[in-house]
Amino acid sequence: MNHRADSEELREQSIGELLKRLADETATLVRKELELAKVEYAEKGKRAGLGAGLLSGAMVAALLALGAFTAFLVLALDGALPNWAAALIVAALYGIVATVLALRGRERLEEAGGPVPEQTKETIEEDLQWARNRATSAKR
């Protein structure tokens, strides 16, 4: 339907009919915006969950590094050079693993973005602009 025919149809309706139509369209719009927000939050949650999992892996690797470092300190105090050197190498390897996991986890969390559903925000702004345009054209 073109804009002119739609405008003429609206002018022929009573205030009550127009208000009912407005209420129906508003309810439909709100329902669709809520559906969009749910989908967007679910996607963000999946990405954030993966990042949190990687950070958990980094924490486990860091704990292992701490254990190896503890073994290093004990063996270094014992004075046996080969033992403490081996323990230091193991601690360094676990530390590298923890660093890599932490950096990747942080990247994933940043990719997930903030908690605001951006697409829903954009469509609500578009809907408001559309409603303003309709209100302005109805006044003419």
- Beta carbons within 10 angstroms of residue 130's beta carbon: 11
Convert 58-97 to b/e letters by CB count within 10 Å (16 or more is b): beebbebbeebbebbeebeeeeeeeebeebbebbeebbeb
Structure tokens at 59: 């924490």
| pLDDT by position in tens, the chain (length 140) | 466 667 777 778 888 888 888 888 888 888 888 888 888 888 888 888 888 899 999 999 999 998 888 777 767 767 656 777 777 777 888 889 899 999 999 999 888 877 666 777 778 788 778 777 766 665 65
Q: DSSP class of residue 21?
A: H
Helix, coil or strand: residue 140: coil
Looking at residue 102, what is its pLDDT? Answer: 93
Closest among 92, 97, 105 to 56, alpha carbons compared: 105
Helix, coil or strand: residue 79: coil
